[in-house]
Amino acid sequence: MIAMSATETHYRGLERMYHAAPINKLLESTLNVEKGSSTILSTVQLDYFHAAGSMHGCLYFKALDDAAYFAAASRNRSQFLVTTGFTTYITRAVSEGPLTTKGRLISAGKQLLVAEAVMYDPRGREVARGSGTFMPSGKLLAEQPGYTD
């Protein structure tokens, strides 16, 4: 068995942390983290719909924020990040899945990271996009549920 590098260990720790979060136990999704990027694959369920029959905006926001967050977090190996601002643009109603949301790190300073995310429907059409800013929280990643084995 080949040992993982510290970088790979960090990426897999972020993925475990995502899946360990209580809110993510309510949603069917998977996360993959790589250098400066992340991908979330998620299902669409009737339970996620508003009265007009398509997915509620809070779920667009969550997937976009998470994808951008983990793209940014791929760069910071020591602290849990917090979202300090996030702008969401919903461009198409979603009533079926699966959805693919891709996050990308735009810039990384010592105290501020900027990342964006784009969500795609099953046909590969963009349905939403967003960008956000993230800062270290002072909480150590190693102390967060799921990050370490």
Domain-embedded: residue 149: no
Q: Residue 128: which domain range?
A: 6-143
> For the ranges 18-32, 46-60, 74-88, 101-115, which has the lowest average pLDDT?
46-60
Residue 84 lies inside a defined structural domain of this protein: yes
- Residue 104 within a domain: yes
CATH number of the domain at 75, please.
3.10.129.10
Is residue 67 scored above 90 in pLDDT?
yes
By residue count, the chain amounts to 149
What integer pLDDT is reported at residue 4 of this predicted model? 81
The reply to whether 131 falls in a domain is yes
The model's pTM is 0.95
Q: Give the pLDDT confidence score for residue 1 in this predicted structure.
A: 61
Residue ranges with strand state E in the chain: 29-34, 37-42, 79-90, 99-108, 113-120, 126-140
Query: Number of structural domains, the chain?
Result: 1
